[in-house]
Amino acid sequence: MLNLIMQAAPAGGAASAISSFLPIVLIGVIFYFLLIRPQNQRMKAHRQMLSEVTRGDTIVTNGGLIGKVKKVTDDELTVDFNGNEMKVIRTMIADVRNKTAPANDTGKKKK
């Protein structure tokens, strides 16, 4: 039986080594495009959303609380939750619901 297996084995060493690693490389490429790359894009969009939070925005925290931003500092936000002001760490924001429009201080109407 062993003699039959030895006869069926190909003699080319380099070609068999490349063909044995090809599926592993292919799986790595598939994982990159289906899992790693989309997650990095979501993290980048979340970081940008956190950096653009301003006073007056309505936010949702990771705990599910919805409130309006009163004050913004580097790492913390002071948020009003129905009359209760609390400090929230910026990274604990899950979503910005209502982005405030910039004020039109010039008195001219937009066209």
What does pTM read for this prediction?
Answer: 0.66
Q: Decide if 65 is inside a domain.
A: yes
Q: Decide if 75 is inside a domain.
A: yes
| CATH of residue 60 | 2.30.30.100
Q: Decide if 81 is inside a domain.
A: yes
- Tell me: the pLDDT tens digits for 54-76? 999 999 999 999 999 999 998 99
Residue 4: which residues within 8 A CB-CB, separation 6 or more?
A: none
pLDDT tens, per residue, the chain with 111 residues: 555 555 555 555 566 778 888 889 999 999 999 999 999 999 999 999 999 999 999 999 999 999 999 999 989 999 999 999 999 999 999 999 977 665 454 556 555
Q: Decide if 30 is inside a domain.
A: no
- Tell me: the pLDDT tens digits for 44-54? 999 999 999 99
**Structural domain containing residue 79:** 52-98
Q: Decide if 44 is inside a domain.
A: no
Question: Considering its fold, how many domains does the chain have in total?
Answer: 1
